[in-house]
Amino acid sequence: MSTTEQPLEKKQKVTDANLWRSKCINRFNLKPLPKGFSSSASPEYSDDSWKRYYDYRVKIEENDPRNSNDGYDSDGNSIDPSERDEDHEDIEGIVYSWTSYGMADRLEKLMVDEVKWQWTPHKPICRWDDPGTPTSVDYYAHVWSPFAIPHAIKLNHEWYGKVGWSYSELVVDFNYMLINFEDSDDVIAAGKFVELCSFNNDVIKTSKLNKTTVSKLRKFLYSANTAKSKAHTCSDKDFLLLLFGSMGSTDEDLMDDTKNCCLGYTWFPWKDEAMKKKLFDLKAPENDDANADPPTTIDKYSPKCFSWLMHAVLAASDSLGPISKHYVPPPKKASRTSYDSDDYGW
């Protein structure tokens, strides 16, 4: 009997060399990589890599806080409030704001309908000063390729803030880790985060948040950084907004996290009369959209403000507008123990 005449189960055994790949595609609704998506041929991934991907992702998604209801036990009975963790309600609020209002309701709409943003948040680690007022929040999440590519980006965002009568401290950083499931379990477990950007008491680091990094992350997740791939998924700006949103920073202006956790310095051009007049004379629309109507009355002109993080996102994605391209960073100071609350929007 020839190969083409073998029984169906025999043919399947011979031809289905990617059993775990098929399981992953079915389980996680992965899409085929569009033809011509990349200028180079797409690599072949081993079945072992797909098994590692499957086992890893299933374990991560089992702990997705969006799929749990901590207010009830396994039998569906309500848990007595006295038996719940002290910070339970506050963490629930953070998770809801982060995953539902921020990502599900707004940011995920930045992707085209055919290919949605695939991500899995982790329950944040929080420490509290007063009830409802966090002193630190650690966000973690995984972003998965929507295509049949066994890759993931692990994300981490750490926020620490403390405000007193005459001082304040604010430390914010964002980190990523590339996970290639062609690597062994030991290599994956030993992976280290790479800092993307940070704000540490007025010291801003954004040198790694650049076009090169955006291209690297897009190629890793989508196998391409071409114009066609962007049209099929999202723009560089929206990609970064989704990335930071997956790390807990879902504010559309990237000024703060949930619970009013400020992300640091914000430039207010309307507070500087000289800058305000300069932008007015340049006919810069106050919403930073070059296609919008220019201002007509300086008294009513209120040019848009920009956080250090939003400016970095716009710069890295070639999206600077008529106002944001004139962004002024905070003054460099060797040491500082007292802060003007206006610098942070507090």
Measured CA distances, 261 to 166, 254, 266, 283 (Å): 19, 11, 13, 34
Closest CA to 314 of 172, 193, 206: 206
**Mean pLDDT value across residues 201-225:** 95
What gap in Å lies between CA 18 and CA 45, rounded to an integer?
Answer: 9
Instruction: Give the span between the Cα atoms of 239 and 206, in whole angstroms.
Output: 17
Q: Find, among 150, 208, 205, the residue nearest to 181 by Cα.
A: 150
Ranges 71-80, 90-99, 105-114: which has the least confidence: 71-80
Element (H, E) at 55: helix 47-62
Could you tell me which of 198, 203, 132, 129 has the C-alpha nearest to residue 164? 129
What token pair was written down for 173?
């950083």
Confidence category of residue 131, pLDDT binned at 50, 70, 90: low
What pLDDT, on a 0 to 100 scale, did the predictor assign at position 165? 57
Q: What is the pLDDT of residues 258-317, one digit of tens each?
A: 888 999 999 999 999 999 999 999 999 999 999 999 999 999 999 999 999 999 999 999
Q: What is the DSSP letter of 78?
A: B
User: How would residue 8 be classed by pLDDT, with cut points 50, 70 and 90?
Assistant: very low
E-only strand ranges, 19-124: 118-121
**Long-range contacts, 190-198 (Cβ 8 Å, 24+):** 191/154, 193/154, 193/156, 197/173, 197/309, 197/312, 198/171, 198/172, 198/173, 198/174
The pLDDT of residue 82 is above 80: no
Q: Return the exposure string of 230-244: e unless at least 16 CB atoms fall within 10 Å of the residue's CB, then b.
A: bebbbebbbbbbbbb
Residue with the larger pLDDT of the pair 157 and 112: 157
Using pLDDT thresholds of 50, 70 and 90, give the confidence band for residue 67: confident
pLDDT band at 69 (very low <50, low <70, confident <90, very high): low
Confidence bin at 212 (pLDDT 50/70/90): very high
Q: Indicate whether 129 pLDDT > 90.
A: no
Percent of the chain scored above 70 by pLDDT?
80
Check residue 164 and give its pLDDT: 60
79 pLDDT exceeds 60? Answer: no
Predicted TM-score (pTM) of this structure = 0.86
Q: Compute the average pLDDT of residues 192-212.
A: 96
Could you tell me which residues come within 8 angstroms of residue 42 by beta carbon, excluding any fewer than 6 positions away?
Answer: 33, 223
Give the residue-averaged pLDDT of 183-209: 95
Nearest to 137 by CA among 268, 249, 267, 279: 249
Is the pLDDT at 344 greater than 80? The verdict is: no
